[in-house]
Amino acid sequence: MSTTTPSHRRDATTRRAADPTGDAPRGHRTQAQSGRSARTLRAGPGRPRSRRIAYLYLAPALALYTAFVVLPWLHTMWLSFFEWDGVTVGTWAGLANYREVLTDPALRSSIVHALGFIGFYSLLPIALGLLLAAVIGGRGGRRYPVSRTVLFLPQIIPLVAVGVTWKWMYSTDGIVNQVLRAVGLGSITRAWLGDFTWAYVAVGLVGTWVMLGLCLIVFQAGIQKIDSSLYEAARLDGAGPVQEFFAVTLPGLRAEIGVALTITVISALASFDVVYVTTGGGPGDSTTVPGVLIYRLAFTNGEVGAACALAVVLSALIALIVLAISRITREKT
């Protein structure tokens, strides 16, 4: 009469499944099986171990980003719901500060000015950068190294120094007016940064000068990765330099254009240093941008809640525009 119980039969079936040959000792079979089970539990379905290790490497940077970016931004959003002068106890204001941002003409015009700066900080530098990359960059990247260095120089100069320099150049006796007088255009000379019509353009051209070198370097680096056989095929088809640029170079720089557009648009919308140093937002409010207005509201007028609301609206606007740029310039795979 057999004495085998149902539990003993299940154990034997499990051991046969773990070791079909039956050569391994019982203790080793149990250890190997338990090891596989433990690894399966640690990894989990759909979450490979390598992914968790990657998150572990990212944890320090993520912690710093959370501490110095996410939490301050959330605190700014919290303050935007209060009427607070920065010293006394604030009072709950709900969405009043956001209504002020959307209805106050000065606050709205500052956002319009920032959007207008996209033309000077982004579109002009990208167009000129593409042209210069094709002319002085070229494949191999060894032509005109001095020109590239000079054009990139504004990127390593503090923007405050840039503003001070251009404020002197735009003055009545500055180099801009001196050149105009030298070529016989003395009738159009003026104090450019004090003119209600031309101050905005003058400040915008400073942004163009600052961003041009960055765009040139990005596009020249992108040209180096374009397959040379495409240029050879274009030449065999009889394409000239202009046709090569539009048929090969421009499509090959799609990703680089997206990078340059993202960086320059953020610089345009978040501009502060150059505007504050050159015009301080004047004359009148013709060059006032959100960065300058946030500074005034928070540190001069004692309207911290309104300043925080404007900062939140500006950051949301930047996020939406950057998201749109990334979707438009994304390369199809």
End-to-end CA distance of the chain: 70
CA atoms 89, 94, 95, 99: torsion sign? negative
Burial class for 187, CB neighbours closer than 10 Å (0-12, 13-18, 19+): exposed
330, 327, 203, 219: which is closest to 268 by C-alpha?
Answer: 203
Can you give the length of the chain in residues?
333
| HEC string for 278-322 | HCCCCCCCCCCCHHHHHHHHHHCCCCHHHHHHHHHHHHHHHHHHH
- pLDDT number for residue 21: 46
Q: Is the pTM of this model over 0.75?
A: yes
Burial class for 104, CB neighbours closer than 10 Å (0-12, 13-18, 19+): middle
Query: For residues 290 and 295, what is the distance between their CA atoms, to the nearest angstrom?
Result: 9
**Per-residue confidence of the chain (333 residues) as pLDDT tens digits?**
444 445 455 555 445 544 444 444 444 445 545 555 555 445 455 566 788 888 889 999 999 999 999 999 999 999 999 999 888 888 999 899 999 988 888 888 999 999 999 999 999 999 999 998 888 766 555 666 777 777 888 888 899 999 999 999 999 999 999 999 999 988 899 999 999 999 999 999 999 999 999 998 899 888 888 888 988 898 888 888 888 889 998 998 989 999 999 999 999 999 999 999 999 988 988 999 999 999 999 999 889 999 999 999 999 999 999 999 988 887 655
Query: For residues 42 and 33, what is the distance between their CA atoms, to the nearest angstrom?
Result: 14
φ, ψ of residue 142 to 5 degrees: the values are -110, 5
- pLDDT number for residue 124: 95
Q: 197 near 187, Cβ under 8 Å?
A: no
- pLDDT number for residue 262: 93
Give the C-alpha distances (Å, rounded to integers) separating 326 from 225, 296, 314, 331: 20, 33, 18, 9
Query: For residues 83 and 88, what is the distance between their CA atoms, to the nearest angstrom?
Result: 10
Torsion of CA 110, 112, 114, 117, to 10 degrees: -140
Give the C-alpha distances (Å, rounded to integers) separating 260 from 68, 213, 268: 25, 11, 12
Give the C-alpha distances (Å, rounded to integers) separating 266 from 157, 165, 205, 211, 274: 18, 23, 17, 12, 14
Beta-bridge partners for 229: none
Query: For residues 248 and 228, what is the distance between their CA atoms, to the nearest angstrom?
Result: 10
